[in-house]
C-alpha cells in the first residue's frame, strides 16, 4: 500500500488543522495581475511537455502522493511546520508560506516546477471557529496559487470537498452541476476555488484540475476535529478500548473513501490528457454509510465493540447539509475513474493496519 499522504486527508474532514497558524501577517507582495501574464491573454507554455517527468510542488502538508510515481527528487514537499524526520529522507522538503507570494514564486522558478498540488487549507470545524484565518488561507492563498500557476504555465490541482454543497443541493446522489450554497466558510471558499479555477482555465488557459473529495479514511491518520472524523476515530477506539462515543447521529449517511482509492484517483486525474477532460471539476465516489452501518460491519470482526452516541449539534448540522452520496459518472466516463474499496474491504484493511500499528507501538 502507498504511504499515507496526510495532505489529502485535510480535505476530507479528517485533518482540519491548517499549515498556517501565523499566516495572517504574512507578506504577499503580489506584483502581477493575470492580464500581465501573456500578451495573448493565455498562460505561458511550461518548459515541460506531457512526455517529460513533471517537477511537482505540493503545498500544505507532508504528502507522498506522487513520490513513488515520479521519483523523490522530482517532488518537493512544503509546509510552514517542521515535518517528521522521515519526510526529509523521502526527498526535498522546503519551507513555503502560501500567503508569501514572492517566496512561492521563487520556489516555482528556482526549482523549475511544472505541477503544483495545493493542499494547504483550513477545514470546516476549525474554519467556523476562526473565519478570518480561513478566508486568508483558503481564498487569498488560492489567488496566489492561481496567479503564479498562470504566470508560469503550471498544471495546478486544487482539491474540493463534499462541503462545497449545501442544504439546498440534491443529496442522494449529489450531481456535479447543481445548486451550491454551503453553510461553512470552508465550503464557501471551495466553491470560490472551483469557480476561480475554471475561470482562469477559460480566460487564461490555465490547466486547472479539481476533485471533490468525500470523507477520506486512513489508518495512519490521527483525527483532528473534522466532521467525518468519527469514521477514523472509531477504529482507533475499537482497538484500544472496545468503546466509541460518536458525535453524529447513528443514521447520518455520508460519502466516504479509503485513502488508497483517493490517492490513485488524484494521480490518475493529474496524469489524464487535457483533451479528455470535459470538465475541470469532478465528483469522485466510492461508498456511503452511516455510523450504524460502520459499527455493524466492524462488529463482525470485533463483536465486543460498543458504540454510544453524544451528538455534537455543530457537526451534525454540517453533516446534515452535506451530500449522502456523490454522482461521479463523468469521472468514470472521461478519465476512467473506478474505486476498488467497499465497506467490508475498508473495515478489514483499517483494523488490520491499526492492530498492527498498536502492537508495534507497544513493543517500542
Residues marked as catalytic: 186
Q: Which DSSP string do the residues of 205-231 spell out, in sequence order?
A: --EEEEEEE-EEE-TTPPP-S-TTTHH
Q: How do strand 155-157 and strand 93-95 relate by DSSP bridges?
A: unpaired
Count CB atoms within 10 A of the CB of residue 104: 25
Q: What is the DSSP letter of 34?
A: G
The CA distance from 201 to 273, in Å, is: 15
- What residues does 117 pair with on adjacent strands? 58, 157
The CA distance from 52 to 71, in Å, is: 13
* Separation of CA 173 from chain center: 20
Amino acid at each position: 500500500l502507498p504511504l499515507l499522504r496526510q495532505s489529502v486527508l485535510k480535505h476530507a474532514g479528517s485533518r482540519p488543522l491548517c499549515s498556517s497558524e501565523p499566516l495572517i501577517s504574512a507578506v504577499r507582495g503580489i506584483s502581477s495581475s493575470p492580464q500581465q501574464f501573456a500578451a495573448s491573454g493565455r498562460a505561458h507554455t511550461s518548459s515541460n511537455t506531457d512526455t517529460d517527468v513533471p517537477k511537482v510542488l505540493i503545498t500544505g502538508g507532508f504528502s507522498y502522493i506522487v513520490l513513488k510515481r515520479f521519483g523523490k527528487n522530482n517532488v518537493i514537499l512544503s509546509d510552514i511546520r517542521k515535518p517528521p524526520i522521515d519526510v526529509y529522507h523521502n526527498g526535498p522538503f522546503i519551507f513555503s508560506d502560501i500567503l508569501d507570494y514572492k517566496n512561492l514564486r521563487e520556489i516555482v522558478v528556482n526549482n523549475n516546477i511544472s505541477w503544483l498540488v495545493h493542499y494547504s487549507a483550513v477545514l470546516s470545524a476549525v474554519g467556523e471557529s476562526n473565519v478570518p484565518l480561513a478566508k486568508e488561507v483558503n481564498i487569498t492563498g488560492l489567488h496566489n496559487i492561481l496567479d503564479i500557476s498562470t504566470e508560469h504555465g503550471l498544471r495546478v490541482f486544487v482539491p474540493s470537498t463534499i462541503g462545497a454543497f449545501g442544504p439546498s443541493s440534491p443529496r442522494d446522489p449529489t450531481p456535479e452541476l447543481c445548486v451550491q450554497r454551503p453553510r461553512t466558510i470552508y465550503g464557501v471558499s471551495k466553491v470560490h476555488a472551483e469557480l476561480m479555477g475554471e475561470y482562469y482555465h477559460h480566460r487564461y488557459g490555465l490547466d486547472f484540475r479539481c476533485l471533490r473529495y468525500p470523507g477520506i479514511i486512513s489508518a495512519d491518520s490521527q483525527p483532528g476535529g473534522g466532521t467525518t472524523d468519527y469514521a477514523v476515530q472509531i477504529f482507533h477506539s475499537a482497538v484500544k478500548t472496545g468503546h466509541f462515543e460518536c458525535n453524529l447521529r447513528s443514521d447520518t449517511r455520508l460519502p466516504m473513501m479509503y485513502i488508497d482509492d483517493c490517492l490513485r484517483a488524484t494521480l490518475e486525474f493529474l496524469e489524464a490528457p487535457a483533451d479528455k477532460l470535459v470538465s475541470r471539476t469532478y465528483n469522485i465516489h466510492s461508498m456511503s454509510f452511516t455510523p450504524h452501518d460502520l459499527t455493524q460491519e466492524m462488529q463482525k470482526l470485533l463483536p465486543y465493540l460498543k458504540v454510544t452516541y453524544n451528538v455534537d449539534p455543530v457537526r451534525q448540522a454540517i453533516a446534515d447539509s452535506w451530500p449522502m452520496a456523490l454522482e461521479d459518472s463523468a469521472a468514470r466516463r472521461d478519465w476512467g475513474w473506478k474505486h476498488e474499496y467497499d465497506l467490508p474491504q475498508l473495515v478489514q484493511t483499517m483494523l488490520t493496519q491499526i492492530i498492527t500499528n498498536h502492537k508495534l507501538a507497544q513493543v517500542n
